[in-house]
Amino acid sequence: MKKEYSKEILEEISAKFPKVSIKIHSPRRTYIRISRDEVYDFAKFLFEEKRFRLSTATGIDTRDGLEIIYHFTLDEAGTYYNIKTVIPKDDLRIRSLASFLPAANWVEREIHELLGVDFIGHPYLKPLLTAETWPADLHPLRCDYADEHKDIKIKKKP
Amino acid sequence: MRRVVPIGPYHPLQEEPEFFKLIVEGEKVVDLEINIGYNHRGHEFISPTLTWDQVPFLVERICGICSDSHPYAYVLAVEDCAHITPPPRAQYLRTIIGELERIHSHYLWLGLAGHFIGYNTVWMWVWRYREPLLDLFELIMGNRNHYAINKIGGARRDISPEDYPKIEEYLDLLEKKNAMFTKAILDDPVIKARLEGVGILSREDAIAFAVTGPTARGSGIAIDVRKDDPFDAYDKVDWNEVVFDEGDVLAKTKVRLIECDESIKIVRQCLKKMPEGPIETRVEEIPPGEGIGRYEAPRGEVFHYVRSDGSNMPVRHKVRAPSFMNIPSNVVAVRGYSIADAALVLAAVDPCYCCTERTYVYEKGKRKYDGQDLLKLSWGKTEQIKRRYKK
């Protein structure tokens, strides 16, 4: 029963947002690729109409750009819908979801400080986890951070 | 006139670094600001520098109380990525340890909550029966905390059949005592008056803040990873999801108390049904791809995401603990209650206790309240209610 429910929703998604590409990894894990401009409307559709829950979001620094995955879940179906979007490294901006989804507030603040993505329209985009003295332009989870600080990372006790 | 009452940065009774800034008008809390990050240890940064098999030991040390839930979610994520199914015996072993841990974590909260409202008897009692459980862990896993049971593709340790009677013996004791606590705590008119209607988190707010675990189930949202997305032995045993609609501190207490009963049920059935056989499968390599692991920790859903490029280390490992979603909901739960209640409400999502030891309130450069004073405020309110009942 649960599986069919899941299928129905996927059909509705592809009817409403024809540009998305859907990949089913396993029965309860689905990955959906979408362009940056559509993320806001898509997330709003999932949260307000379909009552999905935002579990969290992951930011990954990849070769093609900075990838953000919003992990939405539908608890009745027990399924994770992972909304993937790639934003180019020379323009690290995306529209914030926090205006209609309070749960996104801390999630976006975390990505903002660790990866340096600007969430446009976020009510309070201040560092959440790093110390007050931490430089604002240093983002620990970027690949270039590890390169620049290689000597520190591999330093071992004598 | 608005004043600020800082709680923290060295947090709540459970001694965790969080900072709550209560904005009060007289006794009434009108707003709350939360600051975290005093103990950021960079696990997501360290994890890609370790091999797949080393990471469980790292994530086990994220939290001392639910030290089973993070490695559990991590191995589920890697198994999802590589499509590995652990052997049946390993599935039951992991479930048993996970459920025993839930009992000891809920008891820790219950004891501290008792202390916090001035019922030290509850505190002493509950911890008296939590202690043998930790001894049991030492017996079967070799350690009171950090059991290191989870391994990609199975379990690291086996429970020998000689130890079954000891677990059963403890469960018998606990079942009796848990019934006693439930009756004693829920039937006490003073405790009821103190907890009922305090710190209500409405269903709508709970959905908006995406809270998980007992915090959500206390607000009438029936979500439990063990039911919604069953893994290991959870769909092979019979148990019930505990949900209450009120959303106040009493509802959260009820959820936790009754969940302990359900955990006892699960462990009993697992011990009975546990098949013989190997406890691990051989894992050759982790193919490129991505995986998601979720586990219902005592505080809510733990979420782990891993991405593999086919090497011996993860490329990215994302960790999301349940409190990360639960703590922001305090902003709405605490609004409109008194300072004496605030301490309790902040405690109700579980890691959150009013930081008693290091809280000071300054007025014109002079210290007004410290942690002890806040405790006394909370105790004072309980005393008032007691007096009302004596009349």
3-state secondary structure of B308: strand
pLDDT band at B322 (very low <50, low <70, confident <90, very high): confident
List of long-range contacts for A109-114, beta carbons under 8 Å, 24+ apart: A111/A57, A111/A59, A111/A68, A113/A139, A114/A59, A114/A139, A114/A140, A114/A141, A114/B44
Alpha helices by DSSP H, B143-188:
164-187
Chain A residue numbers with beta carbons less than 8 Å from the beta carbon of B305 are: 58, 69, 71
Regarding beta strands A29-33 and A21-26, do their DSSP bridges make them parallel or antiparallel, or are they unpaired? Answer: antiparallel
Question: Which of B40, B292, B325 lies nearest to residue A29, judging by beta carbons?
Answer: B292
Residue B243 pLDDT greater than 90, yes or no: yes
Q: Do B309 and B173 reside in the same domain of the chain?
A: yes
Who contacts B170 (Cβ-Cβ below 8 Å, separation ≥6)?
B132, B133, B136
Other beta carbons less than 10 A from residue B228's beta carbon: 21
Interface contact A103-B325, CB threshold 8 A: yes
**Residue B346, burial from CB neighbour count under 10 angstroms (0-12, 13-18, 19+):** buried
Which pLDDT does position B54 carry in this prediction? 92
What would the pLDDT profile of B265-292 be if each residue is shown by its tens digit? 999 999 999 999 999 999 988 999 999 9
- 8 Å CB contact of A78 and B229: yes
pLDDT single digits (tens) B190-202: 888 888 888 889 9
> Which structure tokens are listed for A143?
């690949």
d(CA A87, CA B143): 46
Cα separation of B255 and B244, whole Å? 7
Residue in chain A closest to B289 (alpha carbons) equals: A25
For the structural domain made of A2-153, what CATH number should be given? 3.30.460.80
- Whole-number pLDDT of residue B325: 87
Q: In terms of domains, do B57 and B34 share one?
A: no
User: What is the domain-level CATH number for residue B334?
Assistant: 3.30.390
Let me know whether B307 and B368 are in one domain.
no
Q: Is the pLDDT of residue A4 over 70?
A: no
CA distance B69 to B290: 20
**pLDDT for B263 beyond 60:** yes
Q: Are B292 and A101 inside 8 Å of each other by CB?
A: no
Q: Does residue B330 share a domain with residue B188?
A: no
- Beta-carbon separation of B289 and A76 below 8 A: no
DSSP label of B162: G
Q: Percent of chain B beyond pLDDT 90?
A: 42
User: What is chain B's mean pLDDT, rounded?
Assistant: 85
Least confident of B40-54, B163-177, B300-314: B40-54
pLDDT in tens, A53-89: 999 999 999 988 999 999 999 888 888 999 999 999 9
Residues of chain B neighbouring A128 (CB-CB closer than 8 A)? 36-37
Asked whether residue A94 carries a pLDDT value surpassing 80, the answer given is yes
Same domain, B316 and B330: no
Q: Could you give the angle at the alpha carbon of B324 between the alpha carbons of B320 and B330, nearest 5°? A: 160
Indicate whether B268 and B349 sit together in one domain. Answer: no
Which residue, B320, B344, B370, sits at the end of a domain? B320
Domain interval for residue B50 = 43-320
**For range B73-101, the mean pLDDT:** 93
Greater pLDDT, B38 or B152? B152
**How far apart are the two ends of chain B, measured CA to CA in Å?**
36
Domain end marker among B320, B342, B359? B320
Question: Model confidence over B107-149: pLDDT tens digits?
Answer: 988 888 888 888 888 889 899 999 999 999 998 888 888 888 9
In chain B, what percentage of residues exceed pLDDT 70?
Answer: 90
Tell me if A69 and B316 make a contact (CB, 8 A cut-off).
Answer: no
Category of B210 on φ-ψ map: left (φ > 0), alpha (ψ -120 to 50) or beta = left
pLDDT band (50, 70, 90) for residue B360: very low
Per-residue pLDDT, averaged over B84-95, amounts to: 94
pLDDT exceeds cutoff 60 at A127: yes
What is the Cα–Cα distance from A51 to A45, expressed in whole angstroms?
A: 9
The C-alpha atoms of residue B26 and residue A65 are separated, in whole angstroms, by: 51
Question: What distance separates the 2 farthest-apart alpha carbons in chain A?
Answer: 62
β-strand B154-155 against A93-95: which pairing, if any? unpaired
Q: Is B234 helix (H, G, I), strand (E, B) or coil?
A: coil
Lookup: tokens for B236: 């092979």
Q: Are B367 and B361 in contact (CB under 8 A)?
A: yes
Is the predicted pLDDT of residue A155 greater than 60, yes or no? no
Place of tokens 């098949």: B275
Q: Which residues pair with B25 in a beta bridge?
A: B2, B28
For residue A141, give every residue at least 6 positions away whose Cβ sits within 8 Å of its Cβ, in sequence order, or none.
A59, A61, A114, A115, B44, B45
Residue type, B177: K
pLDDT-derived band at A151 (thresholds 50, 70, 90) equals low
Does one domain contain both B377 and B282?
no
Report the C-alpha gap between B135 and A111 in whole angstroms.
41
Q: pLDDT higher for A15 or B17? A: A15
Cβ-based interface (< 8 Å): residues of A facing B: 25-26, 28-29, 31, 51, 53-56, 58, 60, 69, 71, 75-80, 82, 101-103, 105-106, 114, 127-131, 140-141, 153
User: Which pLDDT score, from 0 to 100, does residue B352 have?
Assistant: 34
In the predicted structure, residue B367 carries a pLDDT above the cut 60: no
What's the total number of domains in chain B? 2
Query: What is the four-CA torsion angle of B126, B129, B131, B132, rounded to 10 degrees?
Result: -170
pLDDT of residue B381: 78
> Residues near A78 by Cβ (< 8 Å), separated by ≥ 6?
A2, A28, B228, B229, B230
Are B324 and A60 a contacting pair at CB < 8 A?
A: no
Q: Are residues B131 and B185 in the same domain?
A: yes
Q: Identity (one letter) of the amino acid at B346? A: L
Q: Are residues B194 and B336 in the same domain?
A: no
A41 pLDDT exceeds 90?
A: yes
Residue B276's pLDDT is 92
**Same-domain check for residues B284 and B341:** no
Please report which confidence band the pLDDT of residue B386 belongs to, taking 50, 70 and 90 as the band edges. confident
Residue A75 C-alpha from the chain's centroid:
19
| Separation of alpha carbons B319 and B293, rounded Å | 10
Residues B208-226 have pLDDT tens digits of 999 999 999 999 999 999 9
Nearest to B42 among A29, A77, A140 (CB): A140
Chain B residues touching chain A at CB-CB below 8 Å: 36-37, 40, 42, 44-45, 49, 80, 83, 207-210, 222-223, 228-230, 289-292, 294, 301, 303, 305, 307, 315-316, 318, 320, 324-325, 328
The rounded distance, in Å, linking the Cα atoms of B108 and A116 is 38
Q: Is the pLDDT of residue B330 over 90?
A: no
Q: Taking the CA atoms of chain B, what radius of gyration do you get in angstroms?
A: 22
CATH of the domain at B179: 1.10.645.10
Q: Is the pLDDT score of B361 beyond 60? A: no
At B239, the amino acid letter reads W
Distance from CA of A14 to the nearest CA of B (A): 23
pTM of structure: 0.88
Which of B320, B336, B351 is at the close of a domain?
B320
Query: Do B231 and B216 reside in the same domain of the chain?
Result: yes
The answer on B34 and B59 residing in a single domain is no
